[in-house]
Structure 1
């Protein structure tokens, strides 16, 4: 594909992205095709492609990845990033402290903004 600065190169890159994202191929081939397309664009135009087009290409690569929103409940030892660990630790209460709450609190649920408050209340 040719992207010249004299013509509307952004529109032609968007068309190339449209064409590429409709093709079905293995992940390794997708990565190679996206890499080749971006390198050709940068070499011919001299600038990085539009953020929106890069996002579309990224989504194309990750189209059939194993994105599991409930991976914690489905796998025995899930891999969590730091943000997920923070959310999980804010939601969890140690079992020793659960026994100190009343039955009504256990039914309604305990909501704390910070983990330290849990220790002060219990």
Structure 2
């Protein structure tokens, strides 16, 4: 469970990793927000807006190897064009800090653990809040 600064915002995630066969394994993610709700699987992302509009995308390929190759290609293109990549190192460092806080919380019987504010600069055109 994640608690964010500002108005009382909370997100939760439950994982159950005990399937006995690949046929029984699936992934459904539900993200609910004030302006839209999303339902994601390994094959499709669907956004349901507050105005009633539904937008679905089904990317081509699989996460391995296609998703990894796409992320690598975006990084290589950013280096070649001297642009910032779509996912910067700071994004990954903040994600790792959150994962470490989750592990520390689990070791402490679910105690709330603060994730320190990052000193890593953010891209001025993007405001990723984590």
Which TM class, normalised by the smaller chain length?
Answer: under 0.3
Pick the structure with more strand per residue. 2
Pick the structure with more helix per residue. 1
Task: Report the TM-score when normalising by structure 2.
Answer: 0.25
Structure scoring higher RCO (CA < 8 A, sep ≥ 6) equals: 1
